[in-house]
Structure 1
Amino acid sequence: MPLTDLFATRTEGMKASEIRELLKLLDQPEVISFAGGIPDPTLFPREAYQRAMIDCTGSTEAASALQYAPSEGYLPLRQWIARYMAQYGVICGADNILITAGSQQALDYLGKLFLDAGDTVLVGWPTYLGALGAFNAYQPRYDRLDVATNQPPAALQDAAGGRVKFSYLSPDFANPTGVSLDLAERGRILDLADALDIAVVEDGAYQALRYSGDRLPPLLAIEQARKGDIDACRTIYCGSFSKTLAPGLRVGWVVAARPVIGQMVLLKQAADLQTATLNQMVTARVAEELFEPHVEQLRAVYGARLKAMLAALDRHMPDGVRWTRPEGGMFVWCQLPEGIDGADLLAQALATEKVAFVPGGAFFADGSNRNTLRLNFSMPNEAQIEEGITRLGRTLRVAMAAR
C-alpha cells in the first residue's frame, strides 16, 4: 500500500501555490516577472540587520538570542508592536499580541482554531490565495463576502450552507486586487459580524504601504472605538514585517482579545514552540531604529513604480481590458475580455514574450473568473515595467485576435 493511501482526507484540498511555483521564474534573467508579491531586495535595510545580528549574538544577549523563549514572543518586540498599533487607533498591551512565523502561520492557526469540516468562511471574490491554502486543510466551505451589495445577514447565512465561523479580508490594498474598503464598507463588515456572531480576520499585511489618499483605521480600531475594550472585540488583526522590513526572517504578529491569544499560544506550543528568538530580537532592534524612515523610502519607490505601471497599462493595453487603480500595496488586478483564459495567456506570454504574471483563477475559491490576472509592481523597476507591459499588451492583442 503506498503511503499516500494513508494521508488524511483533509489533504485532498491542499495543492501547490501557483505563486510559489512562479517564483522560480525569478532565476531566469530574460523573464520580466510581475508574478511574485515580493519586496525589492535592493531595498532591504541590510546594514541595520547586520548591526543587529552582531549585537544580538556578540554580546551578553547571545545566551538569550540563541535560547528557547516564551511562545507568546519576545516582549520588547510585542511592546513595539503595541506602540505601532496605537498609531492606527488600536489600543492594546503585549498580552494581546502573539508573534508568529509570518502572518501566513497566523492564518493557518486561525483555520485550525475556528474551522470544523463543513464550516463556512466568508471571503472576497477574489481573495488572497495563501489564505485559501491555509484554510483548505480544515475543509471549510466558502461563501462570497461582498460589502458593496450590503446583503442581509439572514440571506447570507442561508446561502452559506454551513455554520459561518469568520470572514477573512484585507481592508487595505488587498491581495490580489489592490482595492481598499472605505469607512462605510468597514463599518458594514463589523455590523455583519455582529449580526452573524462571527469573528473577523483582518489581514493587515499591506497597511503601511499607502502611496496616496487618506489613511483609514483598521477594522480592529473601528470596532474598539465602538466597544471600548479590545477584549470585547471579535476582530483578529494579522500583521507582518515581511512587506516592510524583510520577509526571510518570517516574523509576523496577531493582535486580538486575550482569550483568542491564549488559545493561539497553545497552538503555537504544539506546532513549533516559538518563533525563532534571534529573528525576533533582530527585528525588534531594526524596527526601533528605522521602521518609519525605511517605510517612507518604500512608499516613495513603490509609489513611483505603481504610477509607472498604471501609465504603461494606459498606453499599451488593448480595448476591452480593465484594471484597478490602487492607492498602495503591491498589486494591480486586470480583467480580460470574456474568452481569454489567464493561465493560457501566461503560457503564451512566457513562450513568446518572456513576461510573467499570476493567472487570476487561483484567487477565487471556486476557480472561476479565469479571465483575470494579477500584476506585481514592487519587484520590477520602472524600465522593466514599461517593457514588460508593452510585451503583455502585444500578447493580449494576439490572443484577442485569435478568439
Structure 2
Amino acid sequence: MDWSQVLASRALRMKASEIRELLKLLDQPDIISFAGGIPDPALFPAQEFSQAMTNALSGEAAKVALQYSVSEGYLPLRSWIRDRMERLGITCTEDNILITSGSQQALDYLGKLLLSPGDTALVSWPTYLGALGAFNAYEPVYDRLSLRGNRTAAQYQEAAAEAGGQVKFAYLSADFANPTGLTLTREERERLIDLSDEMNCAIVEDGAYQQLRYDGEPVPPVLALEIERKGDIEACRTVYSGSFSKTLSPGLRVGWVVAAREVIDRLVLLKQAADLHSATLNQMAVAEVAAKDFDGHVAHLRDVYGRRRDLMLDALAREMPEGVSWTHPEGGMFVWVELPEGIDAADLLATSLKTERVAFVPGRAFYADGTHGNTLRLSFSLHEKEKTDEGIARLGRLVREAMA
C-alpha cells in the first residue's frame, strides 16, 4: 500500500526529534554527551519511589491504583499542586488543574485545542523544539515573539491575517528557557500580558524548569502576574504547564496544566478522547514522594546542577576561541552557544562524532524557520568536572579547527 496517498496533510509536517535521536548516543561509553537535557539518574529518589509504589499497590490502595480513574487526575496530587501553585502566586483550586502524561502532552493538547490550519503561534526565536513538534501537527504559521522590540499587537495581527488566520497564542518558557537558558524580566512578562490582551490571544507558559534556579532573584510566573492584575484565575488568558520530569522523574510522565476552568474543562474532553487518564499508579507515587520532601530534594538538585553549570561556564571561558559567545543562565539545564557566521553546527556535530566523540544539539532545530545554523545547545546536567573539562576542551579544539 502507498500510505502517502492516505496520510493527512498534518502528517507531512511531523519530523523526528533531533534530540531523541541523539539520546541513542548515550549508550556509547566513549561519547561525552552534552546533548540531551535530561536529569542525572543518580539523583532520582529511587528508594522513595520504590516505597511509594509498594504502598500504592498494597491493600485498599491497590484498588485505586489499578482501576480506571477520572480524567482530571488523582485528587491528592492535584491538591498538592494547588498548594505549590499558591506559593508561586497562582491562586487556584483543584478544578483549575489537569494532570497530563508529562508537560509534552499538555503542549499537544493545547495545539489541538487552539490551532486551526493557518493560524499563527507566536514563539521565541529560538524555542523549545518539542513545542514546535507538538504544534506542527495542527498546521500553524509561526511568527517571532519579541518582547524587547517595538512590534505592536496590530502588526502581529496583520501578519497573521495575511498568512490566512489569526494569532491564537504566544508560547514561551519564562524561566531558564530551553534551549537558551534565558529568563524573562518582570517587565517583559508584563509586556506579554499587555500584548496578549490587545490581541485577545492565549499565553502558553511552559514552567518545566521553574524550580531549578541557582542564583538571581525569582520572578513571578506570567500567570501569577496576570492573576495579580485581574484578580481571579478565571479572568486570565495564561495557561501554565508544569512537570515533575526535571525534579522527580521523567520516566513516570507526570505533568500538569493550570488554567481557567473553561480551558481545563475543554482539555479534559481531549484527555478523555486520547487516553482516558494518566496512569493512576504513577500519580499516586509522585503524590507521596512530593509530599514527603519535595523542597529538600529540589534544594539538593539546585546544589548539584548549579555547580555543574559553573563548571561548564568556566570550561567554556578557558577553551573557546575569540568570536564564540554563550549565555550565562541563572538556572535550568542549558547553555546556548553562538559560533561565528559560516560555521554550521550540524556539520560540526557530524565531525565531532567521528573525531572528538562529543555530542551536542545543533541550534537550527530550535528555530521555526530553520535558520541560525551557527548555534548549538549544551546541557550541563549530567557531568562533573573531569568529563565537562575534557568534553569542552575537545569541542573548543574542534571549533578552532573550523575557524581556521
State yes or no: 1:219 paired with 2:222.
Answer: yes
Tell me the matched-pair count. Answer: 401
State yes or no: 1:329 paired with 2:332.
Answer: yes
Query: Which residue matches 1:315?
Result: 318
Question: 1:4, CA displacement in angstroms?
Answer: 3.0
Report the secondary structure of 1:60's partner residue. Answer: helix
CA shift digits 1:15-59 (9 cap, x unpaired) = 100000000000001000000010000000001001101111023
In 2, distance between residues paired with 1:128 and 1:242?
15
Query: Which residue matches 2:125?
Result: 125
Match of 1:270 among 256, 268, 273: 273
State yes or no: 1:10 paired with 2:10.
Answer: yes
Query: Which residue matches 1:156?
Result: 156
- Paired amino acid for 2:231: G
Question: 1:5, CA displacement in angstroms?
Answer: 2.0
State yes or no: 1:56 paired with 2:56.
Answer: yes
State yes or no: 1:290 paired with 2:293.
Answer: yes
In 2, distance between residues paired with 1:383 and 1:258?
50
- Paired amino acid for 1:134: A
Report the secondary structure of 2:188's partner residue. Answer: helix
CA shift digits 1:269-304 (9 cap, x unpaired) = 000000000000000000001110000000000000
Contact 1:324 1:334 in 2 (8 A): yes
Report the secondary structure of 1:61's partner residue. Answer: helix
Question: 1:189, CA displacement in angstroms?
Answer: 0.5
Question: 1:381, CA displacement in angstroms?
Answer: 2.0
Contact 1:360 1:373 in 2 (8 A): yes
Contact 1:312 1:386 in 2 (8 A): yes
State yes or no: 1:383 paired with 2:383.
Answer: no
Match of 2:361 among 352, 358, 362: 358
Contact 1:178 1:329 in 2 (8 A): yes
Two-structure CA RMSD over aligned residues (Å): 0.7
Give unmatched runs, 5+ long, in structure 2. Answer: none
- Paired amino acid for 2:202: A
In 2, distance between residues paired with 1:286 and 1:4?
46
Query: Which residue matches 1:242?
Result: 245
Query: Which residue matches 2:111?
Result: 111
Question: 1:3, CA displacement in angstroms?
Answer: 2.1
In 1, distance between residues paired with 2:158 and 2:386?
50
Contact 2:156 2:167 in 1 (8 A): no
State yes or no: 1:399 paired with 2:402.
Answer: yes
- Paired amino acid for 2:368: A
TM-score (norm 2): 0.98
In 1, distance between residues paired with 2:155 and 2:223?
25
Query: Which residue matches 1:145?
Result: 145
Report the secondary structure of 2:332's partner residue. Answer: coil
State yes or no: 1:251 paired with 2:269.
Answer: no
TM-score (norm 1): 0.99
In 1, distance between residues paired with 2:252 and 2:116?
31
Alignment of 1:197-216 (within 5 A): 197-216=200-219
In 2, distance between residues paired with 1:379 and 1:60?
39
In 1, distance between residues paired with 2:343 and 2:193?
37
In 2, distance between residues paired with 1:378 and 1:357?
13
Report the secondary structure of 1:325's partner residue. Answer: coil
- Paired amino acid for 1:252: G
Question: 1:379, CA displacement in angstroms?
Answer: 1.4
Report the secondary structure of 1:349's partner residue. Answer: helix
Contact 2:311 2:384 in 1 (8 A): no
Question: 1:209, CA displacement in angstroms?
Answer: 0.1
Contact 1:65 1:278 in 2 (8 A): yes
CA shift digits 1:362-392 (9 cap, x unpaired) = 0000000010000000112222111100000
Runs of 4+ in structure 1 deviating by more than 6 angstroms, as ranges, are none
The farther-off stretch of 245-254 and 151-160 is 151-160
- Paired amino acid for 2:100: T
Give unmatched runs, 5+ long, in structure 1. Answer: none
Match of 2:168 among 165, 170, 189: 165
- Paired amino acid for 2:181: G
CA shift digits 1:240-296 (9 cap, x unpaired) = 000000000000000000000000000000000000000000000000011100000
- Paired amino acid for 1:290: D
Question: 1:150, CA displacement in angstroms?
Answer: 3.7
